[in-house]
Structure 1
Amino acid sequence: MERSRLLQCLSADYMRLREVAGSGLTAKVPSCPGWTVADLVRHVGQVYLHKAEVMRIGSWPDPWPPEEVRIESPIALLDRGYGALTHEFSRRGVDSPATTWHRPDQTVKFWMRRMAQETVIHRIDAELAHKIDSAPVPDDLAADGVAEVLELFVGYGSTAWPDDFNQVLADAKGRTIRVDVLSPDATSWLIRADTDRVHVTRSTPDPAPSDPAPAATVSGDPAPLLRWLWARESNSTTDVHSPIEVKGDEEALTELRTLLRAGTQ
């Protein structure tokens, strides 16, 4: 996604989060056990401030967080954090250097993408807390989010933070799971968990003859698939058909869910 589009999505979801949070800060967030909306908003505001400071000083701030964060009201912190973050973005190009946790990408664009994705997931959390209809997630943002969670949080994460994955990988059997984004630009990923790491590779919905037969498949349009991968589905009812098609070996699907939890905890 281009810079302008990432910043547009970030702005829209920040405003939506702020709007929904204005309905009440005491509601419990079902997708973040133990959190209220106040905790959620405080978290996002603090994340914004942290990434702004990372870009400003060129390294990880230590100590963190600053004392005033602990006593600031959640909405005020969110607004201040967003202002600081977008100010730092405005001063830098997408290829400007920035410290990140993804070694192959030490640029400002990494944080533009990450903050846009962070915000859309957490505004969905706020909507779930208040049991209101979710605002649409644009296809381009959702498809980019699917790529991020699979390639960075699961694939890269399994080698960058092996301790988080050791338990789930201990009994890995090398099964392959295919995840398909059905539209607008069909893309697929093959995920294979071995005992030492998780291999995540891009493929196509029409597998090549050399591709291994998947033990299971998960497929859907970009927005519902993003929500499924982040375990942010709407409350299901028996008379509503799931927008996600899940097929195949139950153990493999459970393994994928466990890998996602390990990568996104």
Structure 2
Amino acid sequence: MDYPAMFQTQAEALIDAAAGNLDAPVPSCPGWDNRRLVSHVARLLASTAAHLPRGVVDPPAFTERPPAQDEALVAHYRASLAATLAAFQAVDPAAPAWNFTNAPQVAGFWPRRLTHELQIHAWDAANAVGPAPELDPALAADGIDEVLRVLLPAARAAGLTSHAEGTAHVHLTDPLFTGTPSVTDEAAAPPAPSGEWMVALAGDSVEVSEGHEKGDAGLRGPAGPALLAIWGRTGFDGPGLTAFGDQDLLTALRPGR
């Protein structure tokens, strides 16, 4: 997947949706409005743009809060987006770079992470001002894969998610996932998800495999709604979704907001 390009698309969609009504409440992020959402993302982008060129695995320094005034905030967001894209282009993906998970501490972690961060927050912004568009199934499925394999183990180890134990099966029903899984041409990119995951939760351990098995809990439906449910944007009874078994285990798949 071309994560920098997809990141840019999601980042532009977010600001296009939010800029016209920065005071609109964001229902999927209780207590937030679009101004706070844009500020949050702009701060993350500015931090990433400053962090990646350092070539170290130490956490980045504190980043100042963006300006609150409408035009200044939007301009700051766009400048931070441009700086992040420039960093993605300039920095070797294999160069050392801190991240907050157990994944390799390299710069290549961040384009995928920010693509999915912006995918969810672009949906938040659009949902705040009108009906949000459907998520792209392939990108949403990759987002689910990232949650289960990368974010959930880190969140569980840090005590940030439910510690329910058992097995949960996620099964996507989009036509895209009815064939044989494929691998992208980019050697550094993860394999394209098959559309089915079995997640075994025990203590701090998260073990993920692909394939069709029956778990103690199950979530079946399209990739977009499934990703939104896993991120807590909707319930597990969202559009097109069917949940089975122990609902606490499905909640335990959520890595936070």
Q: TM-score range by the shorter chain?
A: 0.7 to 0.9
**Rg larger in structure:** 1
Which of the numbers 128, 148, 168 marks the counterpart of 1:150? Answer: 148
TM-aligned CA deviation for residue 199 of structure 1: 2.1
Which of the numbers 53, 63, 66 marks the counterpart of 1:65? Answer: 63
Q: Whose helix fraction is larger, Structure 1's or Structure 2's?
A: 1
Unaligned runs of 5+ in 2: 178-193
Give the structure-1-normalised TM-score. 0.80
Evaluate the alpha carbon distance shift between residue 191 and residue 103 of structure 1 in structure 2; reply closer, same or farther with a 3 A threshold: closer
CA shift digits 1:177-230 (9 cap, x unpaired): 111123423432222333x2242312212x3xxxxx412210122212111111
Evaluate the alpha carbon distance shift between residue 93 and residue 57 of structure 1 in structure 2; reply closer, same or farther with a 3 A threshold: closer
Unaligned runs of 5+ in 1: 208-212
The answer (yes or no) to whether the contact 1:153–1:264 under 8 Å persists in 2 is no
The answer (yes or no) to whether the contact 2:217–2:250 under 8 Å persists in 1 is no
CA shift digits 1:44-71 (9 cap, x unpaired): 1110011111112234232x1236x355
After superposition, residues 164-203 of structure 1 pair within 5 angstroms as 164-165=160-161, 168-169=162-163, 172=164, 174-183=165-174, 184-185=176-177, 186-194=194-202, 196-203=203-210
- For 2:110, the aligned partner's letter is W
Q: Does residue 1:264 correspond to 2:249, yes or no?
A: no
TM-aligned CA deviation for residue 9 of structure 1: 1.2
1:164 match: secondary structure: coil
Report % sequence identity: 24
The answer (yes or no) to whether the contact 1:124–1:232 under 8 Å persists in 2 is no
Farther-moved stretch of structure 1 (74-83 vs 39-48): 74-83
Matched with 2:77 is 78
Measured in 1, the distance between the counterparts of 2:205 and 2:29 equals 25
Which of the numbers 139, 147, 162 marks the counterpart of 2:137? Answer: 139
Matched with 1:210 is none
The answer (yes or no) to whether the contact 1:187–1:202 under 8 Å persists in 2 is no
Give the structure-2-normalised TM-score. 0.82
Matched with 2:38 is 41
Matched with 2:182 is none
Q: Does residue 1:253 correspond to 2:252, yes or no?
A: no
TM-aligned CA deviation for residue 74 of structure 1: 2.4
The answer (yes or no) to whether the contact 1:155–1:199 under 8 Å persists in 2 is yes
Q: RMSD in angstroms over aligned alpha carbons?
A: 2.3
The answer (yes or no) to whether the contact 1:182–1:220 under 8 Å persists in 2 is yes
After superposition, residues 209-248 of structure 1 pair within 5 angstroms as 213-233=214-234, 242-248=239-245
- For 2:42, the aligned partner's letter is G
